[in-house]
Amino acid sequence: MTFEQLIAEPQHLLLKCISGSRAQQLHLPASDTDIKGIFVLPQKELYGLSVAPQLSNETNDEVYFEIARFIDLLSKNNPNILELLGTPEESVLFRHPLMSLIRPADFLSKLCKDTFAGYAATQVKKAKGLNKKIHRPVDEEKKTVLDFCFVVEGNGSVPLQQWLIQRAYLQEDCGLTNLPHFKDVYLLYHQEQIGGNEKLKGIISGINANDVQLSSIPRDIAPLAVMNFNKDGYSVYCKEYFEYWEWVKKRNEDRYQNTLSHGKNYDAKNMMHTFRLLSMAEEIAAEHKVIVQRSDRDFLLSIRRGEFEYEDLLKMVAEKLERIEELYLRSDLPDLPDAKRAEEILIQIREGFY
């Protein structure tokens, strides 16, 4: 079954609802409308090799889970999946009577502490990551291996590029050999020392090189200098460069400009969802409920508007995590959902549907 087939044959649906910020009452006028749902595969397909566990449109803002996949994710206390069970009535577009067999009480467990709070922690990490990217932008012109090479001089070192300029040398006219027993340390020579027809290879093969290269040097020639290539530093830089410019390419520009406009230099939307998830984790432990529509809407939207300092939000997160830990220690929720009961529910729904 494909997404297009499911839309054309809605008789396979168990649930279709508005999800995300609009169901949570945290949307803004320009917010997207996300649709999520559950479907049952046609019986013939269930017995075949091509089982589609999940279907979505091209933009991924309309997603449907096959019932087995849905029950599996419920058993893992996946926050996005549990939220579907708490969808407010006004956000439900279609609900099959068989959905009454799926009760939150059969799935809620102490695992929610890890899944909800763990997911919230990833939101904090994303917010921290944005904070770092704003304060430490990476130049678009990528550095080369040469920028991470240093020449021993006197009691210290100088950048290789500076050393080359002082001597009016080109890196292409230099050559390196290993210095035994010293990691990433090399002996450096220049073409004028070699003479003859033998040509040195250069320190690097080109600006896109990821390492230095070695040349063949006659034994009786003394090196001009000792050079170190900070290979670990170059590797870290390459990773940060790639991550930064991937982020620039993929970032939501409106959301980024909003972050800059409130002047707090963190992703306010991520921090809002951090608090939403932590509050839901508290409610599950205390009330055994998945509350999607937020009564703390004003507080959450004030976070989204950037009305708090980043450090103050982190302190509040730490306090919430401490409270959640205590709540789950005292909670009478089971440690894990009952896998056997989950399987019974899945079988009941399949039998009833087919």
What is the structure's pLDDT at 129? 58
Query: Residue 281: is its pLDDT beyond 80?
Result: yes
Task: Place 258 in a pLDDT band, splitting at 50, 70 and 90.
Answer: low
Lowest mean pLDDT among 228-237, 247-256, 274-283: 247-256
d(CA 53, CA 41): 9
Residue 255: pLDDT over 90: no
Using CA atoms, how far apart are residues 29 and 23, in angstroms rounded to an integer?
Answer: 14
Give the pLDDT confidence score for residue 47 in this predicted structure. 85
List, for residues 224-245, the tens digit of each pLDDT value: 999 999 999 999 999 989 988 8
Confidence of residue 347 (pLDDT cuts 50, 70, 90): very high
Q: How confident is the model at residue 135 (pLDDT cuts 50, 70, 90)?
A: low
Cα Rg, the chain, nearest whole Å? 30
pLDDT for the residue numbered 123: 67
pLDDT value of residue 50: 77
Q: What domains, with CATH codes, occur in the chain?
A: 1-102+337-354 (3.30.460), 108-137+252-336 (no CATH), 145-231 (no CATH)
Percent helix, strand and coil across the chain, each rounded to 5? 50, 15, 35
Of the two residues 124 and 41, the one the predictor is more confident about is 41
What is the predicted pLDDT for the residue at 31?
A: 86
Contacts of 282 (CB under 8 A, 6+ apart): 320, 323, 324, 327
pLDDT digits (tens, 9 = 90+) for 144-164: 999 999 999 999 999 999 999
Find the DSSP H helices in the chain. 3-8, 21-24, 43-46, 67-75, 79-85, 111-135, 160-166, 191-194, 231-250, 253-262, 268-287, 297-304, 310-330, 339-353
Band (pLDDT 50/70/90 cuts) for residue 128 is low
Q: What is the pLDDT of residue 34?
A: 95
Residue 51: which pLDDT band, with cuts at 50, 70 and 90? confident
Cα separations in angstroms, 79 against 73, 75, 284, 347, 353: 9, 11, 11, 23, 26
**pLDDT band at 254, cuts 50/70/90?**
low
Q: Given this model, what pLDDT does residue 253 score? A: 59
